[in-house]
Structure 1
Amino acid sequence: MWSMLRDLRPYGARFRRETPIGPYIADFAWLSARLIVEVDGDSHESDIGRSHDLRRDAFLKSQGFTVLRFENAQVLERPDFVFLTVERHASPFLKRELK
C-alpha cells in the first residue's frame, strides 16, 4: 500500500504512515486532503473489530476525514482496483490529473 501511495507523491499527495488522529492511529493519512486509507487484516472481521471500526470511522468522519478501507487481500490481489479507488478520492487534491 505504501508504494502505491508514494506513486501519488509527484502529484502533491503527502500521505503519512501510522498517523495519530485524536485517540486513533490511521494506517495512512493525507492530513491536508482529510483522506485516510486503512488496510484491514483478520482482526477487523470479528464483532469486536467491526464495532471498533464503526466507532473509529464515526470519529474520523466527524473530524472531516474520508476513510477508505481495504482488506489485505484486496491490496495484494487487486492492486489496480485499490489504486484507482484511492486516486478517485485523492484527485480533487492532486496538482494534476494522472494519466
Structure 2
Amino acid sequence: MSKLHNHKYLENRRKALRNKSTSAEATLWKSLQKKQLKGRKFRRQHSINNYIVDFYCPSENLIIELDGAVHLDLAQQNYDEERTSTLEELGLVVIRFENKLVFESLDMVLDEISNNFKT
C-alpha cells in the first residue's frame, strides 16, 4: 500500500502554507489546536495523496476546508468537487466553510465540526 499522508515532496509547500495562513485559518486554528475542540487533535496544512488540506482530524477522518473568494471561480469549484470526491473515496469526510463564517459565526462553525465527530 502506498503512503497517503504527508508525502516528502509536499513538505516545503505545507510549511509555506502554515507560515502564510489566511486570517480565517489562523482564527479557526486558535480554536482547534491543542485538542481544544472536544479533545480531538487537528493538524493544519496536512497532505493526503497529492492534496494539502487546511485541517485534518485523524481520529475522525475529518477534513475541514476554508474557502475564500478564489473558490467562487467556476474552474476552482470544479477542481474542489473533484478533490472532495477523491478524498471521500478514501473514506474521509470533507466539510467546507466560507472564510467569512469563521469571523461571523465561529461558534456555529465549531458546532458543525463537532457534529461531524463519530462519537
| TM-score bin (small chain) | 0.7 to 0.9
Match for residue 26 of structure 1 among 42, 45, 53: 53
Q: Using the alignment, how far apart are the partners of 1:42 and 1:84 within structure 2?
A: 24
Q: Deviations over 1:26-81 (max 9, x none)?
A: 10001231000111111111001100100000011001110110000011111111
Higher strand share: 1
Cα RMSD between the aligned structures? 1.1
1:15 match: 42
Unaligned regions of 5+ residues in structure 2, if any?
1-27
**Which residue is equivalent to 1:52?**
79
Deviation at 1:12, TM superposition (A): 3.1
Residue 90 of structure 1 deviates from its aligned partner by 2.1
Give the equivalent residue in structure 2 for 1:3.
30
Displacement after TM superposition at 1:91 (Å): 5.5
Whether the 8 Å CA contact 2:65–2:95 is kept in 1: the answer is yes
Stretches (4+) displaced over 3 A: none
TM-score, normalisation: structure 2: 0.71
Which SS does the other structure have where 2:116 is aligned?
Answer: helix
Larger RCO (alpha carbons 8 Å, 6+ apart): 1
Is 2:80 the partner of 1:40?
no
Q: 5+ residue gaps in structure 1?
A: 93-99
In the alignment of these two chains, the number of paired residues is: 90
Pair 1:83 & 2:110 matched: yes
TM-score under structure 1 length normalisation: 0.85
The CA distance in 1 between the partners of 2:112 and 2:118, in whole Å, is 10
